[in-house]
């Protein structure tokens, strides 16, 4: 399983390492319009919208709190962070500088980074290919593999297919693609995770089909076959699917409780499949889920990590952006972007949620000044408990905030007026969170980040610092 995780997350993890220099990796501008835009940018590059930002903070913290007895952190960007963002903008616009820094602070070009990433992916793929080609999961210590069903569903291969393409391993991509075309069928018995199979197998097939210029019909046929079988799970009385999907048709009476992230992280894949196949049922199923979810009660845009299909309300004792919560927030933004920003309800919910994150969950450690996103326990009470625990999964938020602030564009493609005070704050939080995520790697002896990290934190009410616990904390926190 280690190599599955390596291949499926390596490129996104290293992308997060790039996030502190997101604004510095801008293609040099060449045309007249962009030169004019750059001139306007440079004229305003040292400006800090102090009054506007003060108004934004005032409005945020004067809004009625979802928890009247909860003591707010009142996180805000500092003057130094505002100035640092301006420096990054100016350097990017002047130099069009590309590259990133290694752990020793040496500048490396993007191409050098790509070579290192590609080599790491190739190393992992060759180990899997030698010991477990075709198996759904790889066990590197025993040099063996296991399947999730009797025949296997091509889980590992489909999951890494687009990664192989993106890092330039065309020979390995062709081999993996041919294996799927020749050996994988979904016409078999067995139960699989609806969420994991959708994002990794269906998503992998669709991503590879897209990268082929939407020309590899065999991949689309596989995706359609799998989508048809996974869609059986949507046929519940409530419209909310269970967490497990049967590959053979089976009528589900109901699903009682499902993971928030799992039911709201199906939409991009099934919407795209619907567009490609012109089968409206795929989109109808997943849109119905969001119709239900978006009507449920929320706390300043934040939601617990389970959803009750009977009451149609969120349930559970934890609000977090880690496991079971993360991609709910991720897909709010991406559903808005996927449909060319024609569904404003998703952007509205995303913006509300990010306001809630900043208001209740963002904190800073006392020694290293590391910005992190914690968790809220017992949100149904009037005074929930803050936990300084951050899953490594939360590192997705850095990239997501950048995507929301820029909509995927470089500054050279934007007008200064498009970078609002809120967008500036998001980009500052991008840089701070990315730095924390980098430190989660570099502050361990192995330079492997822990799955869960606890940070030093002082209770705002009692003034007592949370003690270090060797039984629950993998590394000494900052």
| Residues belonging to the active site | 451
SS (H, E, C) 310-328: CCCEEECCEECCCCCCHHH
Distance CA 241, CA 260 (A): 11
Tokens 């616990």 belong to 469
Dump the DSSP string for 406-436.
HTT--GGGS-GGGS-HHHHHHHHHHHHHHHH
Distance CA 350, CA 328 (A): 9
The CA-atom distances, in angstroms, between 305 and each of 192, 351, 457, 461 are: 21, 19, 23, 26
Collapsing DSSP states into helix, strand and coil, what is residue 377? Answer: strand
Distance CA 238, CA 309 (A): 6
Distance CA 351, CA 333 (A): 9
Tell me the β-bridge partners of 454: 389
Q: Which residues contact 143 (CB under 8 A, 6 or more apart)?
A: 131, 132
Distance CA 47, CA 54 (A): 15
Q: Is 109 exposed, middle or buried (0-12, 13-18, 19+ CB in 10 A)?
A: exposed
Distance CA 213, CA 181 (A): 18
Q: Which residues contact 371 (CB under 8 A, 6 or more apart)?
A: 75, 362, 363, 364, 429, 432, 433, 435, 436
Distance CA 337, CA 167 (A): 25
Largest CA distance in the chain: 64
* Helices 155-166 and 2-18, packing angle to 10 deg: 30
Q: Is 111 exposed, middle or buried (0-12, 13-18, 19+ CB in 10 A)?
A: exposed
Within 13 Å of residue 402, how many CA atoms lie on the same side as its CB? 24
Say if CB 150 and CB 190 are below 8 A apart.
yes
């Amino acid at each position: 399983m280690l190599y599955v995780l390596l291949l499926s997350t390596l490129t996104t993890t290293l992308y997060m390492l790039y996030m502190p220099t997101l604004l510095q990796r801008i293609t040099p501008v060449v045309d007249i319009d962009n030169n004019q835009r750059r001139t306007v940018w440079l004229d305003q590059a040292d400006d800090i919208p102090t009054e506007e930002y003060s108004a934004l903070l005032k409005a945020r913290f004067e809004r009625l709190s979802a928890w009247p007895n909860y003591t707010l952190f009142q996180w805000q960007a500092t003057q130094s962070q505002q100035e640092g963002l301006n420096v990054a903008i100016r350097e990017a616009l002047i130099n069009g500088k590309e590259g990133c820094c290694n752990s020793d602070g040496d500048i490396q070009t993007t191409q050098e980074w790509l070579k290192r990433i590609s080599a790491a992916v190739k190393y992992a793929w060759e180990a899997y290919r030698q010991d477990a080609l075709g198996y759904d999961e790889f066990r590197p210590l025993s040099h063996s593999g296991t399947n999730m069903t009797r025949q296997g569903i091509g889980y590992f291969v489909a999951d890494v297919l687009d990664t192989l393409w993106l890092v330039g391993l065309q020979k390995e991509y062709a081999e993996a693609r041919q294996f799927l075309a020749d050996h994988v069928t979904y016409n078999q018995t067995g139960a699989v995770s609806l969420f994991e199979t959708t994002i990794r197998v269906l998503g992998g097939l669709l991503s590879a089909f897209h990268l082929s210029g939407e020309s590899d019909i065999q991949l689309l046929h596989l995706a359609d076959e799998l989508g048809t079988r996974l869609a059986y799970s949507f046929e519940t009385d409530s419209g909310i699917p269970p967490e497990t999907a049967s590959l053979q048709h089976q009528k589900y009476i109901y699903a009682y409780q499902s993971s928030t992230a799992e039911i709201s992280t199906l939409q991009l894949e099934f919407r795209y499949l619907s567009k490609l196949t012109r089968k409206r049922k795929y989109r109808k199923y997943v849109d119905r889920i969001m119709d239900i979810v978006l009507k449920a009660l929320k706390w300043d845009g934040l939601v617990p990590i389970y959803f009750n299909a009977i009451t149609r309300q969120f349930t559970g004792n934890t609000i977090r952006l880690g496991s079971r919560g993360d991609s709910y927030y991720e897909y709010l933004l991406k559903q808005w972007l996927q449909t060319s920003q024609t569904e404003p309800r998703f952007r509205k919910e995303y913006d509300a949620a990010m306001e809630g994150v900043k208001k209740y969950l963002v904190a800073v450690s006392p020694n290293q000044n590391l910005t992190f996103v914690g968790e809220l326990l017992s949100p149904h009470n009037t005074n929930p408990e803050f936990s300084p625990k951050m899953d490594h999964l939360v590192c997705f938020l850095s990239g997501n905030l950048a995507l929301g602030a820029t909509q995927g564009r470089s500054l050279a493609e934007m007008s200064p007026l498009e970078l609002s005070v809120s967008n500036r704050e998001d980009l500052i939080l991008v840089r701070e969170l990315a730095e924390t995520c980098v430190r989660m790697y570099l502050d361990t002896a192995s330079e492997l980040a822990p799955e869960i990290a606890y940070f030093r934190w002082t209770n705002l009410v009692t003034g007592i610092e949370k003690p270090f616990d060797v039984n629950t904390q993998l590394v000494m926190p900052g």
